[in-house]
Amino acid sequence: MSAEQNKALVRRGWEEVINQRNLAFLAEAHPVDALWHEPDQDIQGIEEMKHYLALYFEAFPDFNITVEDVIAEGEKVVSRYTFRGTHQGETEEFGPPTGRQFELEGISMHRFEDGKIVEDWEQ
């Protein structure tokens, strides 16, 4: 795939998975054993990705993303974004709901192989 196609897949992935809650899109964009490097842990495979995201969607039902920039070079794409949400759901991970809103800026690097995202680094 071209750099432009990779960039489009990253943008579409953020929209589909976060804003539309279409977790089935993970399998379209990633191989089954893809790896996410989160700041505090690694998430291995699509099933772990779904579980990880479900915690956020439960604790922050209005969780959403705005993609600010997407840049590509070679097999890597970097996206800069803003997450927003309100802590409304109780989970073991996040505790009882506080009603507080949050805004978090982040940057991710996505590495492609054969047209799919095989590895992500999140900051």
pLDDT at residue 49 greater than cutoff 90: yes
Domain ranges, ordered by start, for the chain: 3-122
Among candidates 108, 99, 100, 114, which has minimal Cα distance to 18? Answer: 108
Task: Specify the pTM.
Answer: 0.93
Q: State whether CATH 3.10.450.50 applies to domain 3-122.
A: yes
pLDDT at residue 80 greater than cutoff 90: yes
In this predicted model, what pLDDT tens digit does every residue of 1-43 receive, in sequence order? 899 999 999 999 999 999 999 999 999 999 999 999 999 999 9
Is there a contact between 29 and 1 (Cβ–Cβ < 8 Å)? no
Cα–Cα distance for residue pair 112/82, rounded to 1 Å: 22
How confident is the model at residue 93, as a pLDDT? 87
Is there a contact between 111 and 97 (Cβ–Cβ < 8 Å)? no
Among candidates 89, 84, 82, which has minimal Cα distance to 108? Answer: 82
